[in-house]
Chain A
Amino acid sequence: MNRWLAALLYALLCAVTFVVCFPLLWAISTSLKPKEEIFRWPPTLLPERFTFESYRELLFGGSAASAPGAGTPPSDFFLHWFANSIIVSVGSTVISITVATLAAYSLTRFRFFGQRAVPYVAIMGYMIPSVIFVFPMFLTLVELDLTDTLLGLTLGYVCITLPFCLWLMWAFFRGVPLEIEEAALVDGASRLQVFRQIVLPVALPGIIAASIFAFIVSWNDYLFGRVFMNSMELLPLTVGVMHFFDGTHVDWGLMMASSVLMTVPMAILFGFMQRHLVAGFGAGAVKG
């Protein structure tokens, strides 16, 4: 490639990357400022004095702002919320992926009535606005006595992630050739053996892409968490951090520090799996 063109492209890439990353860089910068510097005008681009105060408050508790004996400040729940989010996101991802993988395999390898319609019903399911079924679903959970439990929230997330996972896995399995499986079956392997030993390894990129997707959706949700959950120590992160707005006071340092901490697990996950994401989505997933 022409050297000048390459330089131009790099410049363009850097500019775009800067604009895209700026909101997060600014969040990091804000989270590292001492409280009095956060509100200064004109604002300082980089903290004049670095402090990990906000992070310390979130991770080790002991908010300076709380009066003695005044109940637990919301920041003390941060680690609870974090753990909750991990539990429900991992839980719903595992359930969704397991169920979707089995079903998608069945759909592409067996013949039965209504087979071709299932993926389309599923994808329509994913397009249905969650605002429609969040309340009916809540009422269902009431009947099952699962409101304000992590299990209830996990099931709620299964309901929003499962359809799209099925769709992704279905698209993926369609692209996996049948020959090896058939050969193995002819050689006397059972269907379950084939599934475990031949199909799953091949489907791994698809499974990873769908898992990332399911994890992102569960981790990012706000609406279900807000409606289903109640107890402070059982909230997911997204709903919990909104407690840092206490009506008359918002601690932007805490807010931004928790933003950063909420994004970190996603960033790590993403760093490892980025390659598979493109591959997984590329396998005709949105192509039909």
Chain B
Amino acid sequence: MATLISRRTALGSTLAVTALSAPSIAQTRDRVARVWGEPGPYVGVFTNGLNEWAQRNAPGLRFEAEQIPWDQVYTKLATDLAARRPPALISVESPIAYQLAAEGLLEPMDEVNRNIRAAERLVAGFTVDDFGTWKGTQYAVPLHHQGCLLVVQSDAVQEAGLSDPATWTWQDLLNGARAIQQKRPGTAGYTMALGRNLCGDYHVQQFIWAAGGLTWDPARNFETVFNSPATIEAYEFIKELYATMPRSAVEFSFLQVVDQHVAGRTGMSAYWGRTMGRAADEAQPIFRNMEYYLNPRHPGTGQSWSWTDINGWIMPRRNNAFIRESKEAIAHVMNSPEWMARYTNSLFPNVGPVFKDTASDAAVQRHPMYEAKRRSVELIFSGYVPKACNSGHELKRGINPLGGIGHGRNVWSQVAQRILVNNEAPRAAVEWGHRQFEDIRRENRRLIE
């Protein structure tokens, strides 16, 4: 028995030693600069470009891509900043960039933007400032853009005898969704995300802006103006529209909206380029009939807006050992038309090219999806850009760092959920949301003063 136990002890201690030594093994490697990006292959492609620079100019340095699911950005940021080991580079949608810039956590990027002549090369409708300028300093390097649009199955529209979706107002959308639902029992007319998540926030905000509402007004000292009649009208409209959606839309996020569309269970949906990409991969019949349009106009204001991921590279300033190298490596990749085309093509047509030269690059225009869906792809890549804004840059009225904080709390979608799930009156729900936004403004006053 004694020998048996000692063997067991020996086994145990061996395992314990393995457990203890594993981390040290992991740490005796090259210098690794971590690069955060959204899930999807594109960060990986860009990182390959960064590594091309590193191999030539900084031996022993390696860039490593890490995919951060959208809803985990804050967990990762908070823990990594607390642990004093931030990533070297982050590809991030601009509201978070605005917030971090205002917090003073970011490294200025004016120099990189000069080196890549960003201002001259940007597609019409964007300025470098849109990506993350705060108080005159540029903190972000334009990387890509994705706008949320109306995705339509043209066969469904034809069957229901509807007019050209390019001309639609809200009323046409609602009628169209109803007509499709009637023609195709068992499928939804329209699908958007209404879950308590980022996607829900984005989809809801587009309607608010079209109606002329906004959350904070940068022109008036960032006053909270959420509880306007326009906002209430938008939520009332969403409630009407919900009748044409799947019941489970109130738990939908990014994934479910795309699933719904690609599986042919909805005639129309609100989404970014990815729906087209997935349909091309998985459902050719859906892909063949798919078209993208600007979001329907509000009948009164005539406005149409797209929630846009105005995505740029930002760099944490403190405890970042890779600032100089990363800046040079970014410039290397972005000055290379080949890498930029490769980046755009890595998940077609999800990553809209930010530079005119990339958008007109032959390698991009030869992409099979570009050739098959020229009109839609050009809308996704450049046509919609004048309508591009987001939570931190509402109606393009000015950059607002509070938008990023709003993201973490999903107030916009929660208001919708209060109305749809709890049957609260739109006015009351909007007032609730107004109080949340007012709290955010009060708590984070220091950012906007």
Binding site for B on A (CB under 8 A): 39, 66-67, 69-72, 74, 87-88, 90-91, 94-95, 98, 138-139, 141-142, 146-152, 154, 196-197, 200-201, 226-228, 230-234, 242-243, 245-250
Contacts and interface: CB of A to CB of B under 8 A. Distances in A.
Interface string B122-136: 000000000000000
B259 to A, nearest CB: 8
B45 interface: yes
B39 interface: yes
Given A74-B67, A150-B26, 18 more contacts: A72-B44, A87-B19, A91-B15, A138-B79, A151-B23, A196-B2, A200-B5, A201-B5, A230-B76, A230-B85, A231-B34, A245-B69, A246-B39, A246-B69, A247-B40, A248-B40, A248-B274, A249-B255
Contact of A94 (B15, B43, B82, B347): B15
Contacts, number: 122
Contact of A227 (B79, B342, B347): B79
Contacts of A150: 19, 22-23, 26
A197 B1 contact: yes
Given A91-B16, A142-B84, A247 B69 contact: yes
A191 to B, nearest CB: 16
Contacts of A66: 41
B83 interface: yes
B419 to A, nearest CB: 26
B258 interface: yes
Interface in B9-68: 12-13, 15-16, 18-20, 22-23, 26-27, 34, 38-45, 47-48, 65-67
B254 A67 contact: no
Nearest to B22: A150
15 contacts: A69-B45, A70-B346, A87-B15, A91-B19, A94-B16, A138-B83, A147-B85, A149-B23, A228-B79, A230-B80, A246-B39, A246-B40, A247-B38, A248-B278, A249-B278
A227 B80 contact: no
B14 to A, nearest CB: 10
Interface of B: 1-2, 5, 12-13, 15-16, 18-20, 22-23, 26-27, 34, 38-45, 47-48, 65-67, 69-70, 72, 75-76, 79-80, 82-85, 254-255, 258, 263, 274, 278, 342, 346-347
B39 A247 contact: yes
Nearest to A228: B79
A150 B16 CA distance: 11
B317 to A, nearest CB: 19
Contacts of A200: 5
Nearest to B347: A67
A94 B15 CA distance: 8
A249 B258 contact: yes
In the A-B complex, the 4 residue pairs with the closest CB atoms? A71-B44, A91-B19, A70-B41, A149-B23
Contacts of B254: 247-248
Nearest to A74: B67
A71 B43 CA distance: 8
B19 A148 contact: no
A231 B34 CA distance: 9
A141 B82 CA distance: 11
A226 B75 CA distance: 8
B39 A243 contact: yes
B104 to A, nearest CB: 21
A201 B1 contact: yes
A247 B69 CA distance: 7
B66 A232 contact: yes
A149 B40 contact: no
A231 B22 contact: no
Contacts of B20: 91, 151
Name the residue among A70, A150, A201 with the largest chain B CB count within 10 angstroms: A70
Contact of A71 (B41, B76, B82, B85): B41
Contacts of A74: 67
A90 B13 CA distance: 11
Contacts of A39: 263
A138 B16 contact: no
Contacts of B263: 39
Given A91-B15, A248-B258, A243 B1 contact: no
Nearest to A139: B82
Nearest to B345: A67
Nearest to B258: A248
Nearest to A90: B15
Contacts of A141: 83
Nearest to B257: A248
B65 A245 contact: no
A200 B6 CA distance: 11
Contacts of A95: 16
A69 B48 contact: yes
